[in-house]
Structure 1
Amino acid sequence: MSDHADLCETHPSRRRILGTAGALFAWSAIPRTATAAPGARDARLVVVVLRGALDGLSAVAPLGDPAYADLRPGIALTRDGPGAALPLDGFFALHPALPTFARLYAARQALVVHACATGYRERSHFDGQDVLESGQPGPGHTASGWLNRLVAALPAGEGIAPRTALGVGVVPPLILRGPAPVLGWAPPRMPRASDELARRVLALYEAGDPALAASLARGLDVDALAKGGSKEGGPKEAGGLRGLAEGAARLVAADDGPRIAALALDGWDTHANEGGATGRLAGLLGGLDGVFSAFAEVLAPRWADTAILVVTEFGRTARVNGTTGTDHGTGTVAFLLGGAVRGGRVLADWPGLAPAQLHQGRDLAPTTDLRAVAKGLAADLFGLSPAVLARSVFPGTEALRPVGGLVV
């Protein structure tokens, strides 16, 4: 596990920095000859967790369902007019704040899984997130996350770097906690020190504390790579979500970098003033689209072998509430994009939005298990068998078959 302490925190102790070295600075220990085994795909998998419950019926609107518009006065998307939804397949349309995803979909490098959910059927954010990220059948199992267990289950191949993953953010998301080593990186919360100051501090440590000097040097190397330059200076960094995505993408794209990464984005709980084509949700989706754009641009040399999975703990109610928002629901959407993705389609066993078709009379009924999607990706990208996936990655899912055909 990693200690994602911010390297720029005020008055960091020597013990804190050295403790972090085992994970964040372990980068330099990865062999610089890291490549996939001969004939194997050198795949990258990035999982983005949207915490707060994404409204899948607004992100990807079922405009072809006759009940949709009446359920959502004030927030329903439309085919025409200002802020028209972006057509996908004639039945579903994409929120207009997602043009990058629409472009990738048209290029057959992105797909949507609709009416999906984990096996969790209650509506607690905390329990729902635990189930989503732990990969366990129910809440309360937080010792490890399914993506960490996936890393631990990867077979050791010739020339492959030590099995490790990248956790983006100050706190490692549950999905990456566990026995497999995790590299941690987060943009600093304070302005970075100048290169000259960094060199002087490094020189001081080299004279009096070689262990701390080695840790600092490795951390500077990681940070330089995330910035897209060298310690001598690089291009100006982007801020916000895009800057976060660009830094993570540079680390994942590196020849000797982690092949698996995860980041969590908060703020998707839209109980009030959710908005339709414009408004609060549109702003959140626009930020997510910027993340998609950053990954596609920075990972371009690795794009053909990259898959990005975007998931959320559950969906939101089919009906709009009294504050022009939506409440905690069940079924929602997952996004899958990347050059390795067999895209240009919406995967949905559509349950319908008529009153009798809603889950408990209020929610989009889930018909696809997210764990089956994740299992299909793991099988196709990394060659993990159904037995290993059911035993080690998603315990208790022997009867849940991986979704096939997600990867080209």
Structure 2
Amino acid sequence: MAVSRRMVLGGTACATALSVLDSRLALADAVTDRRFVLVILRGGLDGLAAVPPYGDRFYRQIRGGLALDDPMRGTGLADLDGFFGLHPALEPLVPWYRSGQLLPVHAVATPYRERSHFDGQDLLETGADRPGGARDGWLNRAIGLLDGGGRRLGLAVGQTVPLVLRGDTPVASWSPAILPEADDAFLDRLAMLYRDDAVFGPMLAEAVSVDAMAESALAGADRRSSGRRAAEAADLARVAGGMLAAPDGPRIAVLEVSGWDTHARQGTETGQLARSLTGLAGGLTELRAALGPAWRETIVAVVTEFGRTVAPNGTGGTDHGTGAAALLAGGRVAGGQVLADWPGLAPGRLYEGRDLAPTLDLRSVMTALLREHLELPADAVSRVVFPDGPAASLTGLVAA
């Protein structure tokens, strides 16, 4: 369960508060200055819309009504390299690409080849090669390899701790308030009451400290021009960035964004998907701003459980697919390029005749980030984090 000061104080019994707080909230000086943020897009992002391969000669034919305008027309998608572009809603990220701080990855997937959200997300978060192949998350295992001196380096920002962060290594969590705010006078009285309690006293102090970080990060937020979901994503990103930027804060965070299962009325330059992408771009922008100078030591990975079908369905949307797109961003990314072993959109090159064929294992990308950015030993990553992962490794994703 996610924890905040307000949630701690909302219960009527000390036992309830203790169960909420249990082992989730010790944040202290971290050993590393490197930051890593994993953003999970739940539902299956249409990578052919987010990062359109407009230079593929089959793109417009096979995408039909979902094809975006060629950038040569001065409207529609933003050109990246003469072959790939970015959806217009991701326009705020184009300067990041130009400055080497955005690296799209295409035709990427986990080992999963079926079409279930539940199983697809299981593999995305456990790093296993089959559903149910592991009970803990690969990022939790990775955090366990970092020398935190007994301190908690991981942070879940959202209503629950996602599977990717669950495991033997304790992590912190924060979620927006559900219950009414407690005033400072009540907090002071509660702290006085439990000052000699060896268990609840320190936990209460930690909860107040973490919630203060979150409130500081949210101070002055203006949500008037955003939709509800976009505003929520921006708030979570702002909190994560503020906590990661703190000298005594965590170093690794996970955020989740739902709403990517676009079976109907997906839209092109506008519509359902465009609104979600606008929220994503806004959230990433807020994250960067909240991190401040720490952005230079940060990598953000935006991933999804699978891609979507290449051709639109009969309701103007797309169905569950295979090959997907991911985004890497941050001051430590070797961006300004698109990483892709492009399989092509010719009918004979599609997976099962309907999907973008995956040519890159997402675990190879994460392995490279863990090794080159967080500087984890290669043998430990292969043995502990991704024991079922591919033998091939990637290089050149992290700036020198």
Q: TM-score, normalised by structure 1?
A: 0.89
How big is the shift at 1:213? 4.2
Task: For 1:55 and 1:285, locate their aligned partners in 2 and report how far apart those are by CA, in whole Å.
Answer: 10
Q: Which runs of 5+ in 1 are unaligned?
A: 37-41
8 A contact 2:241–2:287 mirrored in 1: yes
2:25 corresponding residue in structure 1: 25
1:349 corresponding residue in structure 2: 341
Task: For 1:248 and 1:187, locate their aligned partners in 2 and report how far apart those are by CA, in whole Å.
Answer: 12
How big is the shift at 1:262? 0.9
1:162 corresponding residue in structure 2: 151
Would you say 1:217 and 2:205 are equivalent positions?
yes
Match for residue 320 of structure 1 among 296, 312, 316: 312
Match for residue 67 of structure 2 among 73, 76, 79: 76
Change beyond 3 A, Cα 1:51–1:12: farther
8 A contact 1:24–1:219 mirrored in 2: no
Structure 1 residue runs of 4 or more that deviate by more than 6 Å after TM superposition = none
1:39 corresponding residue in structure 2: none
Task: For 2:163 and 2:26, locate their aligned partners in 1 and report how far apart those are by CA, in whole Å.
Answer: 20
Provide the identity percentage.
45
8 A contact 1:271–1:325 mirrored in 2: yes
1:195 corresponding residue in structure 2: 184
Would you say 1:405 and 2:396 are equivalent positions?
yes
Task: For 1:406 and 1:207, locate their aligned partners in 2 and report how far apart those are by CA, in whole Å.
Answer: 49
Deviations 1:222-270 (A, max 9, x none): 11112227xxxx8334551111111111111111211111121111100
How big is the shift at 1:206? 3.8
Task: For 1:367 and 1:210, locate their aligned partners in 2 and report how far apart those are by CA, in whole Å.
Answer: 54
Match for residue 220 of structure 2 among 233, 236, 246: 236
Partner letter of residue 16 of structure 1? T
Deviations 1:16-55 (A, max 9, x none): 322333433322xx2x4x444xxxxx21111111110000
8 A contact 2:26–2:151 mirrored in 1: no
- The DSSP-based 3-state class of the residue aligned with 1:100 is helix
User: Aligned runs of 1:276-295 on 2, under 5 Å?
Assistant: 276-295=268-287
Partner letter of residue 227 of structure 1? E
User: Aligned runs of 1:42-61 on 2, under 5 Å?
Assistant: 42-61=33-52
Change beyond 3 A, Cα 1:310–1:44: same
Change beyond 3 A, Cα 1:79–1:20: same
Partner letter of residue 90 of structure 2? L
How big is the shift at 1:314? 0.4
Task: For 2:184 and 2:35, locate their aligned partners in 1 and report how far apart those are by CA, in whole Å.
Answer: 31
- The DSSP-based 3-state class of the residue aligned with 1:25 is coil
Task: For 1:68 and 1:44, locate their aligned partners in 2 and report how far apart those are by CA, in whole Å.
Answer: 37
How big is the shift at 1:74? 2.2
Deviations 1:130-180 (A, max 9, x none): 0000001110135200000001122x38xx663531111121000000011
Task: For 2:196 and 2:297, locate their aligned partners in 1 and report how far apart those are by CA, in whole Å.
Answer: 45
Deviations 1:186-211 (A, max 9, x none): 121345334344334444x3479674
Deviates more, 1:210-219 or 1:57-66: 210-219
Partner letter of residue 153 of structure 1? L
Task: For 1:371 and 1:357, locate their aligned partners in 2 and report how far apart those are by CA, in whole Å.
Answer: 23
Deviates more, 1:84-93 or 1:7-16: 7-16
How big is the shift at 1:391? 1.1
Deviations 1:43-78 (A, max 9, x none): 111111111000000000010011111222222111
8 A contact 2:39–2:301 mirrored in 1: yes
Would you say 1:102 and 2:94 are equivalent positions?
yes
Q: What is the RMSD computed on CA atoms of the aligned residues?
A: 2.1
8 A contact 1:100–1:292 mirrored in 2: no
Deviates more, 1:184-193 or 1:259-268: 184-193
Task: For 1:91 and 1:289, locate their aligned partners in 2 and report how far apart those are by CA, in whole Å.
Answer: 22
User: Aligned runs of 1:4-403 on 2, under 5 Å?
Assistant: 4-5=2-3, 8-9=6-7, 11=11, 13-27=13-27, 30=28, 32=29, 34-36=30-32, 42-80=33-71, 84-154=76-146, 156=147, 162=151, 164-203=153-192, 205-206=193-194, 211-228=199-216, 235-237=219-221, 239-397=231-389, 399-403=390-394
Partner letter of residue 368 of structure 2? G
Deviates more, 1:368-377 or 1:135-144: 135-144
- The DSSP-based 3-state class of the residue aligned with 1:228 is helix
Task: For 1:214 and 1:117, locate their aligned partners in 2 and report how far apart those are by CA, in whole Å.
Answer: 43
Task: For 1:127 and 1:16, locate their aligned partners in 2 and report how far apart those are by CA, in whole Å.
Answer: 33
Deviations 1:76-129 (A, max 9, x none): 111255851111111011001112321211111111000100111111110000
Deviations 1:295-346 (A, max 9, x none): 1111121111100001000000000000000000000101000000000010
Task: For 1:290 and 1:51, locate their aligned partners in 2 and report how far apart those are by CA, in whole Å.
Answer: 17
- The DSSP-based 3-state class of the residue aligned with 1:136 is coil
8 A contact 1:117–1:331 mirrored in 2: yes
Change beyond 3 A, Cα 1:82–1:283: farther
- The DSSP-based 3-state class of the residue aligned with 2:300 is strand
Deviates more, 1:253-262 or 1:308-317: 253-262
Task: For 1:130 and 1:83, locate their aligned partners in 2 and report how far apart those are by CA, in whole Å.
Answer: 38
- The DSSP-based 3-state class of the residue aligned with 1:47 is strand
